[in-house]
Each structure stands twice: as structure tokens, then as C-alpha cells.
Amino acid sequence: MNINATLFGELLAFIFFVWFCMKFVWPPIMGAIEERQKKIADGLAASERGEKDLELAQAKATDQLKEAKTQAAGIIEQAKKRGSQIVDEETQRAHQERENIIAQGHAEIEAERNRAKEDLRKQVAALAVAGAEKILERQIDAAAQSDIVAKLVAEL
Amino acid sequence: MAGSAGEQTISGYIQHHLTNAAVGEGFWTFHVDTLAWSVILGLVFILSFRAVAKKASAGVPGKWQACVELIVEFVDDTVKSTYHGKSALIAPLALTIFVWVLLMNLMDLIPVDFLPILASLIAGESMDVIAAGQSHTYMKVVPTTDVNMTFALSLGVFALMIFYSIKIKGVGGFLKELYAHPFNTPWLYWFNFILETVSLVAKPLSLSLRLFGNLYAGELIFILIAGTLGVWQLPIHFLWAAFHLLIIPLQAFIFMMLTIVYLSLASEEH
């Protein structure tokens, strides 16, 4: 244990090393460490934000899907209603047409029958007149008796 | 140093190992080995850490950078948990002390004869002369077993303690701490002053002697094992090295920790 001038040498070396460390070693290393810590913190925050965004997007997608489903159901419902409406309308129209056609047929038949009746009546009248002429021969002047014939015809 | 010619005594062997390579006379003696090894190890620390500092990036660190960052963060955490002021000096100081002292302590694990014999051979002495204990080349490779080394460290710390005390509390505050504490009555000021001065001076003294004592004792036991046990020294060396391996980082850590504690005491008002 002998103290000597070595002490001063070591003191100088100590001061130099501490100074060098303080100036050129500590700040860059600490800076890098702190920067990396910040980077990692930022990265973690970003991933958390991403996760939240994803969750939000998923919720939104679910909502939209639900809405679309409701809309689709509405459209189908409407289409069904419209379909049955069209069927109803068509049925009604067809029914109407049938009625019309039937009514028309009836009217035609009626007209035909009337005409036939008229023809028959005329023919019966002519036949009756002819018959009467035959029976009465010239006794009866056709022209003079035509009013009687007309009356007969009207009675038929 | 040397026994009778051709035969080496134990005490000579030990004495040889405990003598520094010295230049100069009296007080103006320089222990060349202590200076050289401490500066070499300091440069190893400075340059290897500077290599990382130059390339330090916030990206993915390389293996060496990760290792250095581990040490830096460890020191930074220790400083932050103990020293509550703001100082750009304390943390780099603690890092320098820790790594430098650790490297110097680690020199203790190099087998005790390797470097001294190498030095003797370089100095031109033959193996016969060395084996006979006649070598006059001295080489003490563990700088922390030199009390000059540990005193230099603790004196640097002591100067910083006084600097921080005066900077933060003023000259008056610093002096007041010396005489008005622990008994704050005027007629006991003289007693306080003696008490506080002793405790103030004891801090750097105990700091340096603790490191010196631990490493000197460890080194001495290595030398004793090497000098007395013959071939049996190998397992015993291993056992002592395994035990000493605990002391080496522990003493480096204690020196750093106490430095931080002393400086934090100096920076706080009581």
C-alpha cells in the first residue's frame, strides 16, 4: 500500500474515460434505446388502433348485412303482394270478359231467334194467305184482303 | 522477490507477484503496469461501446448492440431508481465505473503467472532465470489490486460529491451540513463537525479500500494456491475462480452503486 504519482495518472485516465463516455458513448446509445422504445410504443398503439378499426368495420359490415337482409325481405314481400295482386286483377278481368262474351252470345242468340221467328211468322202468313187463296180461289182479292193478312201476321 | 540462487521460495514468489513494475523515485513513482493495463482496459471499454454508439439505430439491434444496450439500460435503471435529480453526468459516470472496474477485476481470472512470465520473456530473461525466481521484471496485471487505482476512482467520486453538494446546496448549505447535523445546537457544533467530517472522508476511503481489499485478497489467494499447492493447484484454482467470479462483478456493481448513492446524498437537501 504505497500511494504515489500513479494516482494522478489514474485520475486523469478516469476523468478522460468518464468525459468520453458522457460525450460520445452514452447519448447516442441512450438516444437509440429511447427512439426504439418510442417506435415500439407507436407500433403497439397502431396495432391497437387497427384492431379497433377492424372491430368497427366488422360491426358495420354486420349492420349492413342485416339491413340488406331486411331490405331483401321487404322486396320479396312486395313482389309477392304485387304477384297476387296481378293474379287477382287478371282473374277478375277474365271473369269480366267471360261475362261479356256470354252476354254477347245470349244477345246474338236472341237476335237470331227473333229474326227466325219473324221469318217464320212471315212464311206462316204467306202460307196462310196462300192456303186461304187456294181455299177461296178468286173469291178473295188479295189486295183487298191484305189488311186482314197483316192483322194475322201481327197476331202470330 | 528472490531466494537463494537456483531455488525459489514461497515468500519470494509471492513478493515478486505483488510488486509493481515501477518507474521513478519516492512519491514520483509511476506503476507502469497499473497505468498500462487500466488504460488498455479503459480503451477496450470506450472503443467497443463507441463502436455501438456510432452505429446505434432504433431499428433491430445487432447482437453486440443488444449486449451493450443491456448494460446501458441496467446502469440507467439503477441510476434512475437511486438518483432523483437530473444530471447528464451521473449515468455515464456510473457506466464507466461499472464496466471499467469490471474489466479490471476480470484480469484476476487470467492465471497468475501467464502475463508476468510473458513480460519477463519479452524483457529478455530466460525461462531458467524466471523459474529460479531470479526475474527482475515485475508485472501486476490487475489494476484494482493497486491502491492508487482505487483511490483515483474514489477521489474522482469524492470531488464530484463536493462539487454537487456545493452546486445544489451552496457553500453555506454544504458547510451547514457539516456542523449543524445531527445535533442542531450551537454548543455541539464542534462535535458535529468532527463527526460529519469523519463520515464524509470515510466515504471515499471505504469506497476505494473495499474494492482494493476484495481484489487484493482474491489475487493473493490465487498466488498462494499457485505458489504452494504444486499440481493440486488446478482444481483449487478452479474452485477459487468460481467463487471469485461472484466477487468480481459484485465489487464492480457495489462501487457503481455506492457512487450513485453518495452523489445522490450530496445532491439532496437534508
Q: What grid cell was written down for B188?
A: 455541539
On the question of pLDDT at A62 being above 70, the answer is: yes
Return the pLDDT at B125.
85
B-chain residues near A32 (CB < 8 A): 56-58, 61, 65, 69
Cell 337482409 belongs to A69
pLDDT digits (tens, 9 = 90+) for A108-129: 999 999 999 998 988 888 888 8
Return the pLDDT at A2.
81
Q: What grid cell was written down for B101?
A: 472496474
Determine the Cα–Cα distance for residues A41 and A46; give it in Å rounded to an integer: 9
- Interface probe for A, chosen from B25, B28, B95 (most Cβ of A below 10 Å), is B95
By the CB < 8 Å criterion, does B46 face chain A? yes
Question: Are B95 and A24 within 8 A, CB to CB?
Answer: no
On the question of pLDDT at B61 being above 70, the answer is: yes
Q: For chain B, what is the mean pLDDT?
A: 89
SS3 for chain A is CCCCCHHHHHHHHHHHHHHHHHHHHHHHHHHHHHHHHHHHHHHHHHHHHHHHHHHHHHHHHHHHHHHHHHHHHHHHHHHHHHHHHHHHHHHHHHHHHHHHHHHHHHHHHHHHHHHHHHHHHHHHHHHHHHHHHHHHHHHCCHHHHHHHHHHHHHHC
Return the pLDDT at A1.
58
pLDDT digits (tens, 9 = 90+) for B8-58: 688 888 888 888 888 888 889 999 999 999 999 999 999 999 999 998 888
Return the pLDDT at B6.
45
Q: Which residues, in sequence order, are CB contacts of B262 under 8 Å at separation 6+? A: B157, B161, B203, B207
Return the pLDDT at A142.
63
Pairing of strands B30-31, B22-23: antiparallel
Q: Is B105 a residue of the active site?
A: no
On the question of pLDDT at B2 being above 70, the answer is: no
Q: How confident is the model at residue B4 (pLDDT cuts 50, 70, 90)?
A: very low
The one catalytic residue among B105, B135, B154, B214: B214
Return the pLDDT at B132.
79
Return the pLDDT at A129.
82
Closest CA to A10 of B92, B34, B157, B197: B34
Closest CA to B197 of B173, B177, B171, B168: B177
Closest CA to B217 of B248, B254, B242, B249: B248
What percentage of chain B exceeds 70 in pLDDT? 97
Residues 120-139 of A with CB under 8 A from B: none
Give bridge partners of residue B30 from the DSSP assignment: B23
Q: What grid cell was written down for B240?
A: 477459487
Return the pLDDT at B7.
55
The pLDDT of B3-7, averaged and rounded, is: 44
- 8 Å CB contact between B138 and B237: no
Determine the Cα–Cα distance for residues A156 and A150; give it in Å rounded to an integer: 10
Return the pLDDT at A122.
87
Determine the Cα–Cα distance for residues A107 and A110; give it in Å rounded to an integer: 5
The pLDDT of B72-79, averaged and rounded, is: 95
Return the pLDDT at A87.
96
B-chain residues near A18 (CB < 8 A): 89, 92-93, 96, 156
DSSP B164-193: HHHHHHHHHHHHHHHHSSS--SGGGHHHHH
On the question of pLDDT at B90 being above 70, the answer is: yes
- 8 Å CB contact between B111 and B237: yes
Neighbours of B90 (CB within 10 A): 23
Give bridge partners of residue B31 from the DSSP assignment: B22
Q: How confident is the model at residue A141 (pLDDT cuts 50, 70, 90)?
A: low
Q: Is B50 a residue of the active site?
A: no
Neighbours of B4 (CB within 10 A): 10
pLDDT digits (tens, 9 = 90+) for A1-30: 588 899 999 999 999 999 999 999 999 999
Neighbours of A66 (CB within 10 A): 10
Return the pLDDT at A25.
94
Neighbours of B137 (CB within 10 A): 18
Determine the Cα–Cα distance for residues A55 and A62; give it in Å rounded to an integer: 11
Question: Are A10 and B149 within 8 A, CB to CB?
Answer: yes
Q: Where are the domains of chain B?
A: 10-267
CA dihedral defined by B210, B211, B213, B216, rounded to 10 degrees? 180
On the question of pLDDT at B270 being above 70, the answer is: no
On the question of pLDDT at B69 being above 50, the answer is: yes
Q: How confident is the model at residue B126 (pLDDT cuts 50, 70, 90)?
A: confident
On the question of pLDDT at B156 being above 90, the answer is: yes
Least confident of A54-58, A127-131, B40-44, B115-119: A127-131
Q: Which residues, in sequence order, are CB contacts of B249 under 8 Å at separation 6+? A: B102, B105
Return the pLDDT at A105.
94
